[in-house]
Amino acid sequence: VEGMLQSLDRLQQTNQELQKTLASIERLARTDSLTGAWNRRRLEEAVINEMDRLKRYDHPLSLLLITIDGFKDLNTGQGHAAGDQLLAELATVVQAHLRATDALARWSDEQFVVLCPNTTQSTAAVLAEQLREKVAWAVFTPVKTATVSIGVAECCTGETWEQWFNRADAALFRARVAGRNQVQRAPEAAQR
């Protein structure tokens, strides 16, 4: 009987270690290792859920598309280590100033998405402006100062994820063309 209890204890310990390992693997599969933000896969899962909520309950849903101004020049001039450090520090600054319901995800090299459930475009634009200011005032290790351009879009009923994202991307493009370090709102989607 004692041998069976020891075997059972070892089995329980092995099971607990396996559960911890699986949780760690799941976290790695859903998180950007450099910034700690959600990765694209995790963001896209959340977008599907939030868009379903929009359809069912008519809750507003907005997103911010953020890019670091001059990031490619930093990578070219100071190297990828400096760029990586800026990405990690910028993600920390942005995350510290988000609301509890918002989610930060790394979208591409120097782009981040903030998913803002239960948020209208006008409220999201206020948040975007606050984030832009916080970043502009922050001190970063590799470059001392950095700025971001932000496109803001609210999801419209009947719109696909791609259409919604493209409107935010077009707003971001306008912010960059208009001189960077600013927030631009997307026009509403054409009604269907």
pLDDT tens digits, one per residue of 100-154: 999 999 999 999 999 999 999 999 999 999 999 999 999 999 899 999 999 999 9
pLDDT at 192: 41
Cα separation, 149 vs 67, in Å, equals: 6
**Widest CA span in the chain:** 77
Cα separation, 85 vs 51, in Å, equals: 33
Give the bridge partners for 63, in sequence order: 115, 153
Residue 13 has pLDDT above 80, yes or no: yes
Residue 27 has pLDDT above 80, yes or no: no
Pairing of strands 148-154, 183-185: parallel
Cβ–Cβ under 8 Å, residues 66 and 75: no
Q: Give the Cα-Cα-Cα angle 154, 186, 47 (nearest 5 degrees).
A: 35
Confidence band for 160, pLDDT divided at 50, 70 and 90: very high
Residue 61 CB partners (closer than 8 Å, separation 6+): 50, 51, 53, 54, 115, 116, 117, 118, 119, 154, 155
For the chain, give the mean pLDDT: 92
Cα separation, 23 vs 101, in Å, equals: 22
Kindly list the distances between the CA atom of residue 54 and the CA atoms of 61, 118, 159, 187, in Å, as whole numbers in the listed order: 7, 9, 11, 19
pLDDT at 84: 96
Which candidate in 89, 110, 154, 159 is catalytic? 110
Pairing of strands 148-154, 61-68: antiparallel
Percent of the chain with pLDDT over 90: 80
Confidence band for 1, pLDDT divided at 50, 70 and 90: confident
Residue 56 has pLDDT above 60, yes or no: yes
Of 53, 141, 76, 67, the C-alpha closest to 111 is: 67
Percent of the chain with pLDDT over 70: 94
Annotated active-site residue 110? The verdict is: yes
pTM: 0.87
